Structure 1
Amino acid sequence: MLEGVNVALGVSGSIAAVTVVELAHELRRQGASVRGVMTDSARGIIHPWAVEFATETDVVTEITGRVEHVELCGREGWADVLLVAPATANTVGKIASAVDDTPVTTCATTALGAGVPVVVVPAMHEPMYDHPGVLDAIDRVESWGVEFVDPRIEEGKAKIAGEAAIVTAVARATTEHTLAGTHVVVTAGATAEAIDPVRVLTNRASGKTGRAVARACHVRGADVTLIHDGGDVHYADAVSVESAAEMRDAVLAAVGGGDDANGADALVSAAAISDYTVEAAPGKLRSGEPRRLDLEPTPKLLDGVREENPELPIVGFKTETSGDDDAMIDAARGLRDRVDCAFVVANDASVMGDDDTRTLFVDRDDVVAFSGSKTALGSEAAARLAAELD
């Protein structure tokens, strides 16, 4: 997600500085190069050698005649983004007031003047985070285009955000916003049909691909609604559903209809939606005896969306178990032609639940094979969608 991105990592004196070693490792795992910058207070919490170990580069602990702030964050500097993580109340206030009396705040002043993207990750006690002056400082700095990553409010503390949220914010700050101004609805994961209050019929879909697409659309500047089978996410407005009927209702509501000004600009349907449902028993079915379930087909989601939204760009996903490319292409073309999809991603079912995948992009003109991580697949799908909406 951060291939080729140069990150200047500013560390200030929050106790959350102890997480910086793993954060630096994660940034590098995602493809970034990282160079550390530390305040004196941060050095009292974590030794610069630890940051040097994590980044494999020298750490800036003072500004010398080398003018390290310009070398890193000037107009011709090394960094593509300045990430201040963690950022204390003191550091946020100084950035807002252009006070540059630490290596980190000096880099921030330089970056903001040079037009280098800045991402700030606050971490402090909750009363400090709620201080009117701190909130005013955050608002002011955000108005300059700085991206803040919201902390996790737990145990009376505004704790540093998780690594995934920080990586996403850095990616969003350094990626061209080719989907800016668009609302993209994405479905992900499996649906489940209740047999009784305890048991369900479902499938093996993990939702990794759909959530990767949603994250990649967010990184490219889109407002994303993710309709899926599990909980909140940091990169989208999330709607949790269980059954195919709930998925259909949620998608139709999010997409809107016809000329709905609040509707979606595109739908990416990556969820594995149940093809059959059953009439659920009111009580738990007793075990130990044969059962017969009468399966009823569920309405096709994309057909319903297309009926209400004749012009909506739709990206479909089609899963096949044969492993044969020709069969996958034929199935994808059938879906493409029936629903008038912008393109269809044909999946090999054998990779369900894995981190890597093998797919075929089938559009109106050609077929393109893809192999790699589901994160990379999400990026490719978002890029193709952006080209479709351009």
Structure 2
Amino acid sequence: MLEGVNVALGVTGSIAAVKTVELAHELRRRGADVRGVMTDSARGIVHPWAVEFATDNEVVTEITGSVEHVELCGSDGWADVFLIAPATANTVGKIAGAVDDTPVTTCATTALGAGTPVVIAPAMHEPMYDHPGVLEAIDTVAEWGVDFVDPRVEEGKAKIATEEAIVCDVARAAGNRSLEGEHVVVTAGATSESIDPVRVITNRSSGKMGRAVAKACYVRGADVTLVQNGEDVPYADVREVESAAEMLAATREACEDADALVSAAAIGDYTVQTSGEKIRSGQDDLTLELEPTPKLIDEIRAARPDLPIVGFKTETSGGEAAMVGRARETLERAGLAFVVANDASVMGSDRTRALLVHEGDVARYEGTKTGLGGEIAASIAAVLGRDPDGE
């Protein structure tokens, strides 16, 4: 996600600075090169040696005649993005007022003047975060194009955002924005049909593929709505659903103003009449009457005839030619942009093998689901008439 990206990491005097070492490790695990910049207050919480160890680079703790701020964040500087995590109320206010009295605020002013992307992850007590002056400073800086990673407000504190949220926003700020301004709806994971208050009919889908697509679209600048029965994520507006009917209703609503839909969810093909009470075990003869569920892509196509839709086709038998044939049937029936065909054996895995079946050609992919999500996001950009390279 951050391969080849240079991240200057500013650390200020919030107690959340204790998380800086792990954040630096996570940025590097995602492919980034990282260099630290610290205020004096931050040095009282975490030692520069720890940040140096985490980044494998010397840490800037003062601005000298070497003009470290220009070398890092100037017009021809080393950094592709300046990340301040954590950022205190004091630091945000200083940035809004162009006050340069720490290495971090000096780097911020330089980055803003040079057009280097800036990402800020605030962390402070909740009353400080709610102060009118702090909120005004955040609004001011955001109007200049700075991306803020919203804190997690809990236990009376505006806690620093999760590492995943910060990494995603850094990638979004520093990378290809080929989907900026587009609204992409993604469905993900399995649906569950209630048999009784205890039992359900479901399938083995983990939702990893759909979430990988949602994340890749977000990183490319899209506003993403994720319709799923699964974990909350920081990179999308999540609509939590359970049954096929709920997923269809939520997707139909989300698609009213969507620019594209990726139907990656493994939606149950059948539902049952739900019993209001638990069905007692030990019955010798029990029959469930299965009723077919509506096809989501057909329903959305009827409502939005011109909406670009990406379908997924999962098979358990047949060779590549058979998979392509079935994918093309779906492609033509519903007028899809393209279909991603894969084998059911990849369900739940972090890796996948897939065929991207377009009207005129087939592209083969083998690797991580994260990587395939990026390929799908690039193809969506092309379908929407955007340059997939963001140039």
When the two structures are superposed, what TM-score results if normalisation uses the length of structure 2?
A: 0.96
Q: Aligned letter for 1:366?
A: D
State the Cα deviation string for residues 307-362 of structure 1 (Å, max 9, x = none): 22211110001111237322221221111111111111112211111111111111
The residue number in structure 2 matching 1:260 is none
* Residue in structure 2 matched with residue 36 of structure 1 by the alignment: 36
Q: Which residue of 2 aligns with 1:167?
A: 167
Q: Which residue of 2 aligns with 1:276?
A: 270
For 1:136, the equivalent position in structure 2 comes to: 136
Partner residue of 1:381 out of 357, 372, 376: 376
Equivalent position amino acid for 1:152 in 2 = R
Secondary structure at the aligned position of 1:312 is classed as: coil
- The amino acid that maps onto 1:90 is N
Q: Which residue of 2 aligns with 1:48?
A: 48
Match of 1:74 in 2: 74
Q: Which amino acid aligns with 2:229?
A: D
Say yes or no: does 1:340 pair with 2:335. yes
Note the alpha carbon deviations across 1:95-154, whole angstroms, 9 max, x for none: 111111111111101000000000000001111111111111101000000000111111
What residue in structure 2 maps to residue 236 of structure 1? 236
Give structure 1 regions of 4+ aligned residues with deviation exceeding 3 angstroms. Answer: none
The equivalent of 1:259 in structure 2 is: none
The offset of 1:217, in angstroms, is 1.2
* Residue aligning to 1:372: 367
TM-score, with structure 1 as normaliser = 0.96
Please show how residues 282-321 of structure 1 align to structure 2 within 5 Å: 282-290=276-284, 291-321=286-316
Deviation of the 1:251 alpha carbon: 1.2
C-alpha separation in 1, matches of 2:48 and 2:326: 56
Residue in structure 2 matched with residue 246 of structure 1 by the alignment = 246
Structure 1 unmatched ranges of 5 or more: 257-262
> 3-state SS of the aligned residue for 2:232?
coil
Q: CA separation in 2, counterparts of 1:47 and 1:348?
A: 50
> Which AA in structure 2 matches 1:280?
T
Number of equivalent positions:
384
Q: CA deviation at 1:158?
A: 0.7
Q: Equivalent residues in 2 for 1:104-119 (5 A)? A: 104-119=104-119
Secondary structure class of the residue paired with 1:302: helix
Write the letter of the residue equivalent to 1:149.
V
Cα distance in structure 1, aligned partners of 2:297 and 2:121: 39
Deviation at 1:88, TM superposition (A): 0.6
Selected match of 2:320 from 315, 325, 348: 325
Residue 358 of structure 2 corresponds to residue 363 of structure 1: yes
Instruction: Indicate the SS of the match to 1:197.
Output: coil
Cα distance in 1 between the residues matched to 2:129 and 2:305:
47
Q: Is the 8 A contact 1:96 1:141 kept in 2?
A: yes
CA deviations 1:238-285 (Å, max 9, x no partner) are: 1111111111111112212xxxxxx21111100000001111112100
Distance in structure 2 (CA, Å) of the matches to 1:349 and 1:268: 18
Is the CA contact (8 Å cut-off) linking 1:60 and 1:103 kept in structure 2?
A: yes
Q: Does 1:204 align with 2:238?
A: no
Partner of 1:385, secondary structure, is helix
Q: Which amino acid in the other structure matches residue 274 of structure 1? A: G
Distance 1:136 1:249 in 2: 38
Q: Show the counterpart of 2:147.
A: 147
Please state how far the C-alpha of 1:231 moved relative to its aligned partner: 4.9
> In structure 1, the residue corresponding to 2:227 is in which secondary structure?
strand
Contact 1:231 1:239 in 2 (8 A): no
Cα distance in 2 for residues equivalent to 1:371 and 1:107? 41
Identity of aligned residues (%): 72
The residue identity in structure 2 corresponding to 1:171 is A
Q: Secondary structure at the match of 1:25?
A: helix
1:53 alignment partner, SS class: helix
In the alignment, the residues of structure 2 paired with residue 60 and residue 255 of structure 1 have an alpha-carbon distance, to the nearest angstrom, of 47
Q: 1:191 touches 1:243 (CA, 8 Å); kept in 2? A: yes
Distance (whole Å) between structure 1 residues aligned to residue 76 and residue 224 of structure 2: 34
Query: Once structures 1 and 2 are overlaid, which stretch shifts more, 142-151 or 206-215?
Result: 206-215
Shift of 1:286: 0.7
Q: Which residue of 1 aligns with 2:57?
A: 57
Tell me the distance in 2 between the aligned counterparts of 1:231 and 1:91.
33
Question: Is 1:231–1:238's contact at 8 Å kept on the other side of the alignment?
Answer: no
Residues in 1 aligned to 2:255 and 2:120: alpha-carbon distance in whole angstroms: 33
CA distance in 2, matches of 1:181, 1:150: 20
The match for 1:266 is 260
Q: Equivalent residue for 2:388?
A: none
Q: 1:38 to 1:281 in 2, by over 3 A?
A: same
The 3-state SS of whatever aligns with 2:330 is: helix
